[in-house]
Amino acid sequence: MISMEDWVTIRNLKKKDPNLGTRTIALMLGISRNTVKKALLNDELPLYNRGEKKINEAVEPFIDFIKESFLKKNLKASRILKDIKSKGYRGSQYALYAYIREILKPIANDVSKNSPHAYMRYETKPAEQMQYDWSPYTVTIGENLVKINIHQTILGFSRYKFYDVSLNVSGSDVYTALEESFIFFGGVCERIQVDNATVFITNASKDNLIWNPRFLSLCGLYGIKPTRSMPSHPWSKGKVESPFSYLETHFISGNEFKSFEDLRERLKQFQDEHNLEIHGTTKQISKILFEKEEQSFLKPLPINPITGELKRYVGFKEEFRKANSECLVSYKGNKYSVPHYFASKEVWLRVLYGTTLQIYSSKNKLIATHTISLKKGEVLVNKEHFNGYRKENQFDSIAISISRLIKRFANYINIHKFIENIKVQKRISPAYHLYKIANLFEYYDEADCIMAMEEAISLNIYSFSFIKGTITHQTKPKNEQLNLFNIKLPQANIKRDLGDYKI
């Protein structure tokens, strides 16, 4: 007989995607096609027959974790399945559901009837502990399916929560989310509970625990003690893991977003609304409990005594670059501008949320911020980066260079196209390239110059260095130009009569 859980799951899958066939659903759930067909034909819940069954071999290694998740944390079977799959479970959904249905549900019913056996939750004092975790999801952004990661930090006493979202989940993303949560709370707890991800721990061995030095640096700046969940005891972080189920059902499921910015804004709205709800354990509104009984106990954020500003963690220099002479930095197929003071200087990059590129000087000063382009070959320029750039430079007289070229090549049909393309492609410093090219052409015949311009147009490359390389490698300077190294001295008669020399 088909179980109630399978009946609900099968019909929900079919409702969400009417195109799913019985074979596909059967493979997804690890059950027979006949079972799927019966569930779809039966519009009423099946009768529940408990019966005892042998525990599936694939389930056995995870029994303790499943018991803890279902009996103590009250997690749904779907969430438990997701968790044990991340730990190596290779069995079917049906096997897990059968174990929960046949073994654990009767125990849960007995516990509810006999309160002395109820699980006693560990509670922390105000500002004693905060917990952090992230969870991946796939959402619709602008009609595209996009993988995202939602970060959550929660205060153990008040259950006051902070949410953030990123496209990636690198160390930079995690540490940024943590730091933003500290600022949101206005302080930190005595300790923070994390899992064994490599962004926190490089060696999770019980006998040889090694913390990630970058994470320790962050904790050191904010004066917070790191603690971790043991590899086989993830439920010690239950206060931060349990709310992800609520997040998935009340925010992720059924929602579509216009853009990443729209997703982030609505996530913050969800956060604020969720913090105003009565928590199931504390029976109080999280925000009010935080403000009344926990906020004043938080350790203060680090402040620079000289400037009075908050000290930010800038310890993860992930990618070094050298800005070119045009004040541009390359990142993943695109170029981004920096202030002209940093032309030809080393800088380093920091990516936030997978969407924002921050550029820092070698002295850790933020000098530029750009939205990362998803295209290739883009040049993203902030015009303010070039205020005062070469104001008194001879290259600023772009009109003079253009006039020289048009006058010299008045009969060349593509001269205006050539000039306009330079202005478009080299929009940061077109005057420089036009000035140098005009000067270079003064030393070459008209035909040779046109050949170089045609080559530039065909390849869509208009830099002075390219034009110079093209014309110097394939042509010779104009004959009238003087080459001091090829001057032939006139032959003169320098013989003198010996009588001219007196001894």
Q: Concatenated DSSP letters for 249-293?
A: IIIITT-EESSHHHHHHHHHHHHHHHTTSBPTTT-SBHHHHIIII
Could you tell me if 145 and 275 lie in one domain?
A: yes
Number of structural domains in the chain: 4
Could you tell me if 32 and 138 lie in one domain?
A: no
Could you tell me if 286 and 162 lie in one domain?
A: yes
- The domain that holds 348 is classified in CATH as 2.30.30
What does the alpha-carbon distance between residue 230 and residue 193 come to, in Å, rounded to a whole number?
A: 11
Buried/exposed 393-430: b ≥16 CB within 10 Å, e otherwise = eebeebeebbebbeeebeebeebeebbebbeebbebbb
- Using CA atoms in the order 186, 189, 193, 197, what is the torsion angle rounded to 10 degrees? 40
Could you tell me if 226 and 92 lie in one domain?
A: no
Could you tell me if 290 and 326 lie in one domain?
A: no
pTM attached to this predicted model: 0.52
Could you tell me if 78 and 154 lie in one domain?
A: no
Range of the domain at 47: 4-117
Query: What angle in degrees, to the nearest 10, is found between the helix axes of 4-16 and 22-29?
Result: 130
Could you tell me if 139 and 257 lie in one domain?
A: yes
Q: Which of 359, 386, 413 is the last residue of a domain?
A: 386
pLDDT tens, 441-471?
876 788 889 999 999 999 999 988 899 888 8
63, part of any domain: yes
Could you tell me if 104 and 143 lie in one domain?
A: no
309, part of any domain: no
75, part of any domain: yes
498, part of any domain: no
439, part of any domain: yes
What confidence score (pLDDT) does residue 5 get?
53
What confidence score (pLDDT) does residue 120 get?
42
Structure tokens that stand for 121 in this block: 């939750």
Could you tell me if 352 and 274 lie in one domain?
A: no
Tally the residues of the chain.
Answer: 503
22, part of any domain: yes
What does the alpha-carbon distance between residue 135 and residue 165 come to, in Å, rounded to a whole number?
A: 10
244, part of any domain: yes
Query: What angle in degrees, to the nearest 10, is found between the helix axes of 430-441 and 415-425?
Result: 140
- DSSP letter (8 states) at residue 486: G
| Confidence band of 206 (pLDDT split at 50, 70, 90) | low
310, part of any domain: no
Could you tell me if 152 and 277 lie in one domain?
A: yes
Q: What is the mean pLDDT of residues 317-326?
A: 78
What confidence score (pLDDT) does residue 489 get?
36
Could you tell me if 202 and 293 lie in one domain?
A: yes
Could you tell me if 136 and 232 lie in one domain?
A: yes
What confidence score (pLDDT) does residue 306 get?
74
